[in-house]
Amino acid sequence: MANLKEVKGRIQSVVSTQQITKAMKMVAAAKLRRAQDSITQMRPYAQKLNSMLQNLSSQGGDDEQGKFSEVRQVEKVLLIAVTSDKGLCGAFNSNVFKAVNRTIKEKYQRQFSNDNVTILTIGKKARDYFTKRNYKVVTDYWDMFSPVSFEKSTEAAEYAMNSFVDGKYDKVEIIYNEFKNVATQIMRVEQFLPVVPSEEIGSSLFQVDYIFQPSREEIVRDLIPKSLKIQVFKAILDSNAAEHGARMTAMDQATDNAGELLKELRLTYNRTRQAAITKEILEIVAGAEALG
């Protein structure tokens, strides 16, 4: 059985850890509120803009629209992996890594074997993970969360858009955690380019006859790039909110686990202390009897 000093040291260590996890939970909760407000306000706008973009794509169009909607034989693929800069958020980052590897295995194994799958990393954890494992990586746009801004996300979106138009990639997908609530994140694998209409919008029931002012060409020229940039920004905001939710949940569980461990250690401490007291009493009684 461990001695009293050793058990007492372990109790102090667990108490200190519990105080840290409580503080980290409170910090994550404060950051989550701001991040949740940002994605809640952005989501309806992004969804409506994306719906308009898909509607325009389903109707055919000019060269400006066509260059982002051109469907080619998929030989070169870009996967945009969105993670966090920091850890201690449960399985948040590992779920992205698994989703990327699963997507490659199920959809792009041939391209991966030919070294034609590139990972654009957003977040320090993604950069470190894929670089260490010798994936083909674009690491110029990983720093997106200090702080999150539309200007930063635009740089990554423009790289993907320009590379697609130039023929460097034939398909671009975004892989990220979508924020649902504090305890739940939904893994999303969404096609970014080429822009294709969804099945619902592709049906005549959901097509919209827009009235264009000043002209269809001018609106399409401005709307499509903006919608694509908004799509990347939305994914980053979603991931940011989901990260804080995951960290808050992880720290809450860690605090509870520390509490359970403290109960066991204090019970062990009391038992050890009682055993030491009992042993001393027995020695005193034995000594008294020997003197008698």
89 noted as active-site residue:
yes
Q: If you write DSSP's letter for every residue of the chain in order, what string do you get?
A: ---HHHHHHHHHHHHHHHHHHHHHHHHHHHHHHHHHHHHHHHHHHHHHHHHHHHHHHHT---HHHHHHH------SEEEEEE--SS--STTHHHHHHHHHHHHHHHH-HHHHHTT-EEEEEESHHHHHHHHHTT-EEE-TT----TT--HHHHHHHHHHHHHHHHTTS-SEEEEEEEEEEETTEEEEEEEEEES----HHHHSTTT---PPPSS-HHHHHHHHHHHHHHHHHHHHHHHHHHHHHHHHHHHHHHHHHHHHHHHHHHHHHHHHHHHHHHHHHHHHHHHHHHHH-
Q: In what order do the strands lie in the sheet with 77-82?
A: 136-138, 117-122, 77-82, 171-181, 184-193
Marked catalytic residue, from 79, 82, 89, 254: 89
First to last CA, the chain: 33
CA distances from 243 to 1, 136, 184, 217, 260 (A): 42, 25, 10, 39, 26
Q: Residue type at 189?
A: V
217-230 in b/e form (b: 16+ CB < 10 A) is eeebeebbbebbbb
Active-site positions read 89
